[in-house]
């Protein structure tokens, strides 16, 4: 992939350094494909990540949110199999995984549930009131429209 130079944009923007770094890293080849996931918008400020984690229990999965990065780790505990059972084909993956998601500013993890082999992570964007856009009223100048600049004497 061709490298894009964002230096002209740095001159006319302030505070978008993290965005440009993320855009630079889009074409990186080592993006894992396991486990598969969906990212859904469930409301104006609500999102959900649904991840297929068949065979994993709540104890096998850990979630950690730190500095706008959500890390999901899955590590299957070795299970004791019956000694007289021979596994002929393994189609259900039980390998360990680690998946990271970059979260936007003010996006927080609201909760997580594991149901029917799907891990659902609820995300909510909580923008503080002082960061929300506000309307600034324009005040009318307190000037007198009939203001006299020079005094003329009447004859």
Identify whether 145 is part of a domain.
no
Q: What is the per-residue pLDDT for 28?
A: 60
What averages of pLDDT result for each successive group of 10 residues across the chain (155 residues)? 63 64 63 82 91 88 90 80 75 82 88 93 87 84 64 64
What span, in angstroms and rounded, lies between the C-alpha atoms of 4 and 85? Answer: 55
Identify whether 150 is part of a domain.
no
Identify whether 153 is part of a domain.
no
Q: How many CA atoms lie within 13 A of 122 on its CB side?
A: 10
User: For residue 124, what is the domain's CATH number?
Assistant: 2.60.40.790
Identify whether 135 is part of a domain.
no
Identify whether 96 is part of a domain.
yes
Alpha-carbon separation of residue 54 from 14, 63, 88, 140, 153 (angstroms): 44, 17, 19, 65, 96
Q: How many CA atoms lie within 13 A of 19 on its CB side?
A: 10
CB 21 within 8 A of CB 28: no
How many domains does one find in the chain?
A: 1
Q: What is the per-residue pLDDT for 64?
A: 93
Domain that holds residue 110: 32-78+90-128
Q: What is the per-residue pLDDT for 63?
A: 93
Q: What is the pTM of this model?
A: 0.63
């Amino acid at each position: 992939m061709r490298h894009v130079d964002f230096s002209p944009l740095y001159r006319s923007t302030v505070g978008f350094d993290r965005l440009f770094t993320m855009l630079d890293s889009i074409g990186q080849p080592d993006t894992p494909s396991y486990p598969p996931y969906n990212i859904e918008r469930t409301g104006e400020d609500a999102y959900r990540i649904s991840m297929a984690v068949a065979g994993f229990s709540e104890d096998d999965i850990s979630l950690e949110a730190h500095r706008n990065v959500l890390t999901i780790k899955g590590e299957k505990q070795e299970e004791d199999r019956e000694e007289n059972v021979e596994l002929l084909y393994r189609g259900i993956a039980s390998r360990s995984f680690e998946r990271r998601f970059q979260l936007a500013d003010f996006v927080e993890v609201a909760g997580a549930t594991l149901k029917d082999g799907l891990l659902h992570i609820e995300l909510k964007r909580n923008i503080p009131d002082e960061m929300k856009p506000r309307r600034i009223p324009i005040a009318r100048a307190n000037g007198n429209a009939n203001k006299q600049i020079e005094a003329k004497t009447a004859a």
